[in-house]
Amino acid sequence: MKIVNPWIEVEKIDGIQIMKKIERACRTCYRSEGNISEDSYKNLLKNCINRGHESVLEHEKVSIRMYCDIGVYKDLTRHRFASFSIESTRYCSYDKDKYGNEIKCINPSYIEDKAVYEEWKKSMEEIEKRYMKMKELGATTDMCRLILPHSTAAEVTMTADIREWKHILELRTSNKAHPAIRQLLIPLLKYFQKEMPEIFENVEYDKDFDEKNYAEFRIAE
């Protein structure tokens, strides 16, 4: 059993271009394309968001990849306006060389109590032993996946439009969301706030969440 750290990778985006494209679409409503200037998108987008005229944000989308646990994608796939491609626990057989003959578990670094962390680790090791034993006995991957824990690591590709990202980040970066999601999505929110402040600057997140638990954040080249 290998303990691995989560990461999140976002496609390289140009926030200003995204906001300008949304502005262009939005101005269709008022036939005010003639008012477009270098920074006219700023007020337009702020006004739209203040008034709840948020469907205009659906014209642009962003994809991410992440390495997370099953619990994270179980929660995130509840969001109906996002698209997902997820490593399959039915297809990927972790006893094979390709997967290092082991189960990988996302490190729950936010468990600070050492005794609790140790119990978690022992449980994961035990599950891995049982998974391999089931395989030895001829169980199919479909059968073996029945015992995989929430901590099992998986790669996920996720795409959503800007409106849905705003909604997901509002819900999933607060202190009500599971820490395993906060550690991935707070860094993403901070990136969106830098790239598209007019859209994301007012999204509140859990500022007390310890930065040392943030997932590694990468921008894809």
Give the count of residues interacting with ligand FAD (CB under 6 A): 9
Q: Kindly identify the residues of this chain, within the stretch 156-175, that bind ligand FAD according to CB under 6 A.
A: 164, 167, 171
Instruction: Determine, following the binding rule CB under 6 A, whether residue 176 of this chain makes contact with ligand FAD.
Output: yes
Among 177, 184, 185, 199, binds ligand FAD (CB under 6 A): 177
Exposed/middle/buried for residue 205 (C-beta within 10 Å: 0-12, 13-18, 19+) = buried
Q: Which is nearer to ligand FAD, 75 or 155 (CB)?
A: 75
Instruction: Determine, following the binding rule CB under 6 A, whether residue 79 of this chain makes contact with ligand FAD.
Output: yes
Among 36, 47, 81, 100, binds ligand FAD (CB under 6 A): 81
R_g over Cα of the chain: 21
Instruction: Determine, following the binding rule CB under 6 A, whether residue 78 of this chain makes contact with ligand FAD.
Output: yes
Q: Which stretch binds ligand FAD (CB under 6 A): 32-40, 41-49, 56-64, 76-84?
A: 76-84
- Contact residues for ligand FAD (CB under 6 A)? 78-81, 164, 167, 171, 176-177
